Structure 1
Amino acid sequence: MSQAEGSYYVPHESRWPVYGVPGMVLLAAGFAVYLNGGDWGVPTMVLGAVITLMMVVMWFRDVINESVSGKYNHQVDVSFRQGMAWFIFSEVMFFGAFFGALFYARVFIVPWLSGADPATSQYLWDSVLLSWPTAGPGMQDLQYEAMGPWMLPALNTLILLTSGVTLTWAHHAIKENHRSKVVLGLLATVLLGATFSFIQGYEYIHAWHDLNLQLSTGIYGSLFYMLTGFHGLHVIIGALTLLVILLRVLRGHFTPDDHFGFEAAAWYWHFVDVVWLGLFVFVYLI
């Protein structure tokens, strides 16, 4: 039975945040220990990932059950839309911090240390000439190659742009209640996302072993992996979310007038597309 007009559904108390917080803490702590060479980093990371994944699956289950049982009304839909908008805004700030670090290093630090301001640079790294991409002062003898924009990065750009088209096609199809087209569009988007992740993994192996471009390659290496790595994580999360939406479509969920779960996943995926365009331009191209 749907909610009465003018009422508002208040969810019951959930235990899943209690599980989610330690899971994410263990995941982050294990990753930090792994980066610093600790022996227990990987097992802790795996344990945290398993706990976090279980929390997400069970929480998704509860929300889906509440939705299909008719407990949500227009007010809840508005709240969901506002919440998703604020979530994406927080993601904009998240990536903005890393883009800001890249901008600060390229526009301010590199020229400053290269003698643009002789009055101060002589007290830091005298006679150092740097140009981007650079590992930074003190690492001029480090042999590495920067990752170029063409081949793998350009191919991944084409893949993500295509995935945005297939997802938009599926969105129009769900509004017209063409469920077979929705399934095809979502399936194509998920497969394109998986292909992107596979190519990026191959790119990392090539960069790490063939180009000697590693996390330890100064400011360029750390920014390269932090920016592209976090984006890659978002692609994986987005593809998994769209996979859940695909499974829901196959089970008959969503209607032309009630499909915000689909829309929220689409908003997130299009945001990931836009971030990649920024990465392609500012990390790979220029």
Structure 2
Amino acid sequence: MKGKLHDYHLVNPSPWPLLFSITIIVTALGAVGTIRNFYMGKLLLLVGLTSVSITLYKWWKDVITEAIRDKCHTEIVKKGLRLAMAAFILSESMFFFVFFWSFFKAWLFPVYTFDNFIPGDLITWPPRNITPLDPWSLPFLNTIILLLSGCTLTWSHYSLINKDIGSVLKMLGATIVLGIIFSIFQAIEYTHTDFAFHETGEKAIYASNFYMITGFHGAHVIIGTIFLIICWFRARKNQLSPEDHIGFECAVWYWHFVDVIWLLLFVFLYWISS
């Protein structure tokens, strides 16, 4: 900040935004290739995920350096970061809104597909040959896990404000473990479905909506878990304080957003519509 006449952070040129965009495209292509069993789809997905992880690590490392060593995060900058995180969560809400719109359209106003049209036949939801997952088995258990993780994360945030670093590490660690358990159970849940990623006819409508919404939510849980792991290491190095923990605060917002999306998923996708 030496020599500056203002409190704003003029960011130095960085390669990470462009590299992150490229790695996201590679990951998306790899995911499509894996689902459709294309040649080298899995390898492309692995390369994409690895590249995304390395890019985010380097990017976040630069941001932390700017905050701790360079003292670039003034109060005005922190307000901007909070606003940016709020805008990001709002954009993610619109992202999920699109998929929920698709799901509600298919559920409340189901239509025939050409390959199974029978005049005079009734339209049903869930479609024929689809056995929905029992909402009170793994989905309900995952709901309890996420709600509990929200409680432990709030406890950790409260402990930080009260300068109890021991409780911060314990409760934040518990939240991370619960997030990992949720992701494992989500993967196990996919092995219990009787519909695949690439179905045809009416099954395709149900399967596409199910895997799209739950899959993207699962990806957000993984990202949130990584976010919290970084906060845990920062807390262990005493880089978080009651007055200065904007990164942790944004992680808390993001995790609660993930909780809310899952509650909507459980109520409408798993429970009522089935």
Normalising by the residue count of structure 2, what TM-score does the alignment of the two structures yield? 0.92
Q: Give the equivalent residue in structure 2 for 1:130.
A: 123
- Cα 1:2–1:213 change in 2 (3 A) is farther
Deviation at 1:132, TM superposition (A): 1.4
Question: Does residue 40 of structure 2 align to residue 48 of structure 1?
Answer: no
User: 1:91: which partner in 2?
Assistant: 92
CA RMSD of aligned residues (A): 1.9
Contact 1:3 1:73 in 2 (8 A): no
2:68 corresponds in structure 1 to 68
Tell me how many residue pairs correspond in the alignment. 265
* Distance in 2, Cα, partners of 1:54 & 1:75: 29
**Shift of residue 107, structure 1, vs aligned partner:** 1.5
8 Å contact kept, 2:160–2:242: yes
Q: How far apart, CA to CA, are the structure 2 residues paired with 1:224 and 1:129?
A: 22
Distance apart, 1:37 and its partner CA = 2.1
State the match for 1:117 in structure 2: none
The question of whether the paired residues in 2 share the 8 Å contact of 1:175 and 1:256 is answered with: yes
Kept in 2: contact 1:234–1:272 (CA 8 A): yes
Distance in 1 between residues matched to 2:47 and 2:82, nearest whole Å:
33
Structure 2, unaligned stretches of length 5 or more? none
| CA shift digits 1:27-54 (9 cap, x unpaired) | 1112122222211211111111121111
Equivalents in 2 of 1:2, 1:67: separation in Å?
A: 14
| Partner of residue 35, structure 1 | 35
Call closer, same or farther: CA 1:144–1:167 in 2, change over 3 Å: same
Aligned partners of 2:196 and 2:208: how far apart in 1? 7
Q: Tell me the alpha carbon deviations over residues 4-47 of structure 1, each in whole angstroms, 9 at most, x when there is no partner.
A: 78421211000112322221111111212222221121111111
The aligned residue for residue 121 of structure 1 is none
Which stretches of structure 1, 4 residues or more, deviate above 6 A after TM superposition? 1-5
Equivalent residues in 2 for 1:191-210, closer than 5 Å: 191-207=177-193
One-letter amino acid of the structure 2 residue matched with residue 45 of structure 1: L
Per the normalisation by structure 1, the TM-score is 0.88
Separation in 1 of the partners of 2:140 and 2:12? 47
Deviations 1:191-234 (A, max 9, x none): 00011111111111122xxxx22221321111111111111111
Which has the higher Rg, Structure 1 or Structure 2?
1
Q: Which protein has greater RCO, CA pairs closer than 8 Å, 6+ apart?
A: 2
- Calculate percent identity across the aligned residue pairs: 39
Question: Cα–Cα, structure 1 residues 5 and 181, in superposed 2: closer, same or farther, change >3 Å?
Answer: farther
Contact 1:197 1:232 in 2 (8 A): yes
Question: What secondary structure, in the 3-state scheme, does the structure 1 residue paired with 2:109 have?
Answer: helix
